[in-house]
C-alpha cells in the first residue's frame, strides 16, 4: 500500500504539476518526434526513484519510464478533436494500471526506509494532490463539450479564477470530511450558490446554469469520494 501511494504521488506530480503546457502542445504536434515526450517519460522514472528512495527499484523505474513513453506517444498519435477526452481517461487508466502492477509485483524490502513519511501522511498528501490540478483537468475534460462559449466569452472574471476556486473548494471539502465536519460542506455549497447566483442572474441562460451545476456537482463529488477513500484507509480524525 505504501509503495502504491508513493508511485501515485510521483505520477500526479509528473503529469499534472511538472508538465508545462508547452510540453503538451509540442507532444500533440510532433507525437513520437517530440523531445519533450521523452523528457516527460524520464521525469516520471526519476520521480519514481526519488520518492521510493531505493536503488533496488531502478529497473521498475525503467518499466514506468518506458510504459509512460509508449502510452503517451500512442495517445498523441491517435488523438483528435473528437476522441481527446476519451483518450485522456484511457491514458490515465493505463498509467494507474502500470503503477498498480508495479506495486503488487515489487515486494523487496527498501534499502533506505524513511520513517519521517508514514503511510498516513503520504495518503493525505496524495489526496490533496488528486483534488487539486488533476481534478480540475478531469472536470474540464468531462464538461468541455457543454461549455457555452458564446455566453461566457465576454466575462470580466479574473484569469483562471474559476479553476483555483474549484481547487480551494475541493481542498476544503476534503479537510471537512477527514476531520469529521460534514456540516462544513453544506456551508460551502450555500456560499458558492450565493456567489454563482449573481453569474446566472447576469447571463440568464439555462445552458450556463446547467454548466455551472454539472461542474459544481462533479467538483464536490470528486472531493467527497476522495475523502471517503482516505477514511477507508485512515479511519478517525486528523
Residue 153 has pLDDT above 60, yes or no: no
Percent of the chain with pLDDT over 70: 87
Same domain, 68 and 159: no
Does some domain include residue 16? yes
Same domain, 166 and 216: yes
In terms of residue numbers, what domain contains 145?
Answer: 138-233
Does some domain include residue 121? no
Sign of the torsion angle spanned by Cα atoms 54, 55, 61, 63: negative
- What is the phi/psi pair of residue 223, to 5°? -65, -40
Same domain, 169 and 88: no
Residue-wise over 175-184: b if at least 16 C-beta within 10 A, else e?
bbbbeeeeee
Same domain, 6 and 108: yes
The per-residue pLDDT for range 95-135, each reduced to its tens digit, is 999 999 999 999 887 766 666 678 898 999 999 999 999 99
First to last CA, the chain: 20
Look at the chain and report how many structural domains it folds into: 2
Q: How confident is the model at residue 200 (pLDDT cuts 50, 70, 90)?
A: low
Instruction: Report which of 179, 187, 197, 194 is spatially closest to residue 220, judged by C-alpha positions.
Output: 187
Same domain, 171 and 78: no
Does some domain include residue 202? yes
Same domain, 93 and 37: yes
Does some domain include residue 120? no
Residue 35 has pLDDT above 90, yes or no: yes
Same domain, 7 and 107: yes
Cell numbers describing residue 233: 484507509
Same domain, 102 and 149: no
Q: Which burial class, exposed, middle or buried, applies to 136 when counting CB atoms under 10 A from its CB (0-12, 13-18, 19+)?
A: buried
Does some domain include residue 52? yes
Same domain, 151 and 227: yes
Which pLDDT score is estimated for 157?
Answer: 64
Does some domain include residue 132? no
Distance between CA atoms of 130 and 112, rounded to whole angstroms?
27
Does some domain include residue 133? no
Same domain, 77 and 180: no
Same domain, 104 and 13: yes
Arithmetic mean of pLDDT over the chain? 88
The per-residue pLDDT for range 206-222, each reduced to its tens digit, is 677 778 888 889 999 99
Residue-wise over 4-21: b if at least 16 C-beta within 10 A, else e?
bbbbbbbbbbbbbeebee
Which pLDDT score is estimated for 213?
Answer: 84
Percent of the chain with pLDDT over 90: 64
Which pLDDT score is estimated for 114?
Answer: 66
Amino acid at each position: 500500500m505504501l509503495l502504491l501511494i508513493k508511485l501515485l504521488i510521483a505520477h500526479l506530480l509528473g503529469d499534472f504539476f511538472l508538465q508545462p503546457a508547452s510540453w503538451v502542445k509540442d507532444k500533440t504536434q510532433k507525437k513520437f518526434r517530440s523531445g519533450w515526450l521523452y523528457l516527460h517519460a524520464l521525469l516520471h522514472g526519476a520521480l519514481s526513484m526519488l520518492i521510493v528512495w531505493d536503488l533496488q527499484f531502478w529497473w521498475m523505474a525503467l518499466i514506468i519510464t518506458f510504459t509512460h513513453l509508449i502510452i503517451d506517444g500512442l495517445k498523441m498519435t491517435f488523438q483528435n478533436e473528437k476522441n481527446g477526452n476519451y483518450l485522456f481517461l484511457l491514458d490515465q487508466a493505463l498509467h494507474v494500471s502500470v503503477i498498480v502492477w508495479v506495486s503488487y509485483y515489487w515486494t523487496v524490502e527498501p534499502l533506505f526506509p524513511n520513517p519521517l513519511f508514514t503511510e498516513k501522511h503520504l495518503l493525505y498528501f496524495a489526496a490533496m494532490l488528486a483534488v487539486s490540478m488533476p481534478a480540475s483537468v478531469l472536470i474540464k475534460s468531462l464538461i468541455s463539450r457543454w461549455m457555452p462559449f458564446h455566453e461566457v466569452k465576454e466575462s470580466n472574471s479574473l484569469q483562471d479564477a474559476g479553476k483555483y476556486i474549484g481547487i480551494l473548494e475541493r481542498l476544503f471539502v476534503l479537510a471537512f470530511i477527514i476531520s469529521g465536519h460534514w456540516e462544513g460542506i453544506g456551508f460551502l455549497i450555500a456560499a458558492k450558490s450565493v456567489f454563482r447566483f449573481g453569474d446566472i442572474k447576469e447571463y440568464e441562460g439555462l445552458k450556463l446554469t446547467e454548466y455551472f451545476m454539472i461542474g459544481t456537482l462533479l467538483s464536490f463529488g470528486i472531493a467527497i469520494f476522495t475523502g471517503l477513500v482516505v477514511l477507508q484507509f485512515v479511519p478517525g480524525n486528523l
